[in-house]
Amino acid sequence: MKRIVAIAIITLIGILVAYSINRKKPREFLPIYNPVDLHSEMVDSSILRKGFGHKIGNFSFKNQDGKNITQKTIEGKIFVVEYFFTTCGTICPKMNIQMQRVQKAFSNNLQLKILSFTVNPEIDTVEQMKRYALSHGANNKQWHFLTGSKEELYKLARTSFFVLKPAEAQNLGDAGSDFIHTNNFVLIDKQKRIRGYYDGTNSKEVAKLIKHIQLLMEEE
């Protein structure tokens, strides 16, 4: 009898150990951001109280090769967005060193796109963006440096990505603009929904971004 009990205990312990080893950790779920979830100074007043259903709006800008990049370019793709300008000597160099890490992590994986919008299109022409892209080893099939109408660039930032705030709030402006850009990278899913904001100057934050991109790629 004692032998039977011992065998039963050993078997039970084995089952519990196997269950513990094979049990999957709960899947991390990324939030979906809407205008109401964000700081009001980042959001255009026309959509400030929108609490659900926010998606990235339509756009059309030229990339570093002079090609038109629109919402169709990123249809069904995951993409990361930043706003910057090529002559910025403060946070932008740090941000784009980190963005190189993102590109490297998903090298040649065209399910990921990177969109770098300028806040200073007067200087950041197609030619200037091309020089900048080359200096950062950008894969032009994956990483697009975008320029165009200043009004449209700013409108998209304020109504879709929420990465510009009024310059008068801090009595200064980037590139002489009416707005200043943040150091945030924005993660957008295949349905064009915002799934995360990350400090583009912080290596740990960017490591988290890379992890979250992979999570989105594993979603159905």
pLDDT category of residue 171 using cuts at 50, 70 and 90 = very low
The CATH H-level (homologous superfamily) assignment of domain 32-218 is: Glutaredoxin (3.40.30.10)
Domain range annotation of the chain: 32-218
Q: What is the dihedral of CA 132, 135, 140, 142, to 10 degrees?
A: -100
**pLDDT of the residue at 10:** 57
CA 113 – CA 132 distance, rounded (Å): 17
Residue 204, CB-side half-sphere exposure with 13 Å CA sphere: 0
* Backbone angles phi and psi of 176, in degrees to 5: 70, 20
Look at the alpha carbons of 115, 34, 44, 183 in this order and tell me if their dihedral is positive or negative. negative
CA 44 – CA 153 distance, rounded (Å): 13
For the stretch 91-115, pLDDT in tens is 999 999 999 999 999 998 989 999 9
Higher pLDDT among residues 151 and 20, named by residue: 151
Residue whose token pair is 């740990």: 204
Map residue 72 onto helix, strand or coil.
Answer: coil
- Per-residue DSSP letter, 38: S
- Per-residue DSSP letter, 3: H
Alpha-carbon distance values, 184 to 75, 96, 99 (Å): 22, 11, 11
Q: What is the mean pLDDT of residues 192-212?
A: 98
